[in-house]
Amino acid sequence: MQTTFFITAALLYALCAFLPARRRLAISAGTAVAWLLHGSALWADVVTPGSLRVGFAMMLSAAMWISVAAYWLENRNFALDGLRMLVLPCAAVMVLLPALFPGTVMALGQRSVLLPWHVTIAILAYSTLTIAAFHAVLMAIQDSRLHTRPGATVGGWFAAAIDRLPALLTMEKLLFRLIGFGFVLLTLTVLSGVIFSEELFGKAFRLDHKTVFTMLSWVLFGLLLAGRRWRGWRGKTALSFTLAGFSTLLLAYVGSRFVLEVVLHRGVA
């Protein structure tokens, strides 16, 4: 059933990505249906009776699920057709990843029934901040195109999508909304992780590479939000902090699991 949902969602994402912009209602409805199918399949695949399935593919698929939700909601306030051309094709690909890379099954046994919620919050936190990082990259590309001589611009589908993005100030507002939401989720992840660390590993605080890099990422994003609030940080400073925070978060989870699952063909807890 999950595979059917994943495939159907991928087809709907692809269709909505390339429909003419004037078909606004059809795009909105199709995207919403695809998003619901995508989310339902993800939840059914990750949370199974007596176990959890985790892996880098789940993380990337969840990241695109969050990205589609952000696009769909914000499209009601801003004209984001350029983002549609970038987000939905990526979602059509990422939604299929869990079927190709199923990840690792972690038995719950006698562990707390709240553990799946801790894992879900962590996935949503990582996913939201991953999307914020890609959003920052798009802003950097958009800014560079504004400073490029018209005769030197490169054409093509990607360039057309970049040119149709909202103004940089609007993109910046969207970026900080994503970062703020992601930071709240990451804070909940850190706090609940302390609780479940003892249950999983027998220690109230396990000092390993995941903990170190997650805490470093939390500090970086916290500093960025504080700098934005009190010092008005924006532009290159905001982009640098966003990408630095994302890089440490990537090292904390997704990168290590990709190496273990795909390169070394091993599962980890």
DSSP line for 129-161: HHHHHHHHHHHHHHHHHHTS-GGG---SHHHHH
- To the nearest whole number, what is the mean pLDDT of the chain? 77
Beta strand ranges found along 29-148 (DSSP E): 47-48, 51-54, 104-107
Between 223 and 73, residue with greater pLDDT:
223
What is the CA angle 131-119-98, rounded to 5? Answer: 65
Contact 89, 14 (CB under 8 A): yes
Burial class (CB in 10 A: 0-12, 13-18, 19+), 20: exposed
Please report, as a single letter, which amino acid is at residue 10.
Answer: A
Please report, as a single letter, which amino acid is at residue 214.
Answer: T
pLDDT band with cut points at 50, 70 and 90 for residue 208 = low
Contact 91, 13 (CB under 8 A): yes
Biggest alpha carbon–alpha carbon distance for the chain: 65
> Looking at the predicted structure, is the pLDDT value of residue 71 above 50?
yes
Q: What is the pLDDT of residue 269?
A: 45
Question: What confidence tens digit (pLDDT) does each residue in 9-42 have?
Answer: 999 999 988 888 788 888 889 999 999 999 888 8
Per DSSP, 102 falls in state -
- Write phi, then psi, for 32 (nearest 5 degrees): -65, -45
> Looking at the predicted structure, is the pLDDT value of residue 48 above 60?
yes
Contact 241, 224 (CB under 8 A): yes
3-state secondary structure of 54: strand
**Whole-model pTM?**
0.73
What is the CA angle 127-133-136, rounded to 5? Answer: 145
Beta strand ranges found along the chain (DSSP E): 47-48, 51-54, 104-107
> Looking at the predicted structure, is the pLDDT value of residue 261 above 80?
no
Assign residue 19 a region: left if phi > 0, alpha if psi is -120 to 50, beta otherwise? beta
Question: What confidence tens digit (pLDDT) does each residue in 58-69 have?
Answer: 778 888 888 888
Please report, as a single letter, which amino acid is at residue 244.
Answer: A
List 134's β-bridge partners, or say none.
Answer: none
